[in-house]
Amino acid sequence: MTKSPLAPQSTPVLPKIEGVEFAVGSNGFYGDRNDVFIARFAEPASAAGVFTRSSTRSADVDWCRQALENGGGIAHGVVVNAGNSNAFTGAAGIAKNDATVAAMCELIGCDESNVFLAATGVIGEPLEPNLVANKVKEIWPSLGSASLNDVGAAFMTTDTFPKASHVQVNMDGADVRIAGVVKGSGMIMPNMATMLGYIFTDANLSPAVCQALLSRFTDETFNCITVDGDTSTSDTVMLFATRKSGPYIDDLSDPQLEAFATGLRSLMHDLAVQIVRDGEGATKLIEIAVEGAVSDASAKIIASSIANSPLVKTALAASDANWGRIVMAVGKTDQPVEREAISIWFGDIQVAENGMRAANYSEEAASKACQAEEIFIRVSVGAGAGEATVWTCDLTHGYVDINGSYRT
């Protein structure tokens, strides 16, 4: 598959996170390419997760939610496979999970609630119960041979490039590392998270602190991207802290947490935008900022309406500054706006002001702004102080090509 034209020039080499080891392998869903990874924590790690709200969610999502609750946010192992989402598979999906968890518990010597699962790929195709479990046993002896970069490549589906990011922060004189990988290219629309994502840190954080930070920053990053308006059955983002570096923190008000929180949010934002850069068939990255709404929540609804409009996205694919389609997308939300106060900009070019076309409107200047690979759209709706920013991509024939042949 051809790499997205919006892809970063290179994938960063992720640092080793002390306290966790990885192994990768292939079940043959993508030829010889790796399509499964396992992680083992040397000592109990703090775990946090956010998951799709889809009513047709996968058995793996159900498992993780329950495991976090039953195990108190403690992790000993992780298993993730690509090629099959294990969603809408009934008893077969539960059987696959039971076998996989049993294999990990036997190898690690831990409780079931300390093992976390995820799967991504085709929906509704039952797997042979022991397929993933047998692969876990096969690759177990190679734990430690795979890097976090290998993990990021092992759970891609229609992704055209692996998505990775890392930061290092100082906490009370100690260097703390945070590194993460995500997959996602299509079926991307916020409803918790919008893909599979795994973030590892050697910070010494409690499960409660991990959960609070992950939930907060997911709403500000992964929940602010969209490719096609479709929410996956398998969306999962998890954060694991191996507790190997820095001061122990169990209080969100601890001032030593500030540097870590800033670094984590920066990393999550980077990963979220990389997903949009790899939107199926995408040729343009589009940032949409809405201001002047009655609340931040209202602003986000309006921004998402613009971002998900096929008419807006196809116009921008053709570099057509059809700002009338943005007016349409604002109006169809039923959110409170002041029609006579609405103003719109493409980059620095104002195309509408006070509810009508801008007095100095230039089609040439607006079209030029829409020819760029990265487009910034600002909309003011004149109803309050609420604001929100959403990231999306254009909609091209490439999206149809990819999804029309997804299973074939």
Which residue numbers are catalytic?
Answer: 194
Pairwise CA distance, residues 149 & 131, whole Å: 24
Pairwise CA distance, residues 40 & 22, whole Å: 7
Q: CA of 329: how far to CAs of 286, 311, 336, 392, in Å?
A: 15, 9, 13, 14
CA angle 282, 221, 384 (to 5 degrees): 105
Q: Which residue type sits at 267?
A: L
Q: Which residue type sits at 59?
A: A
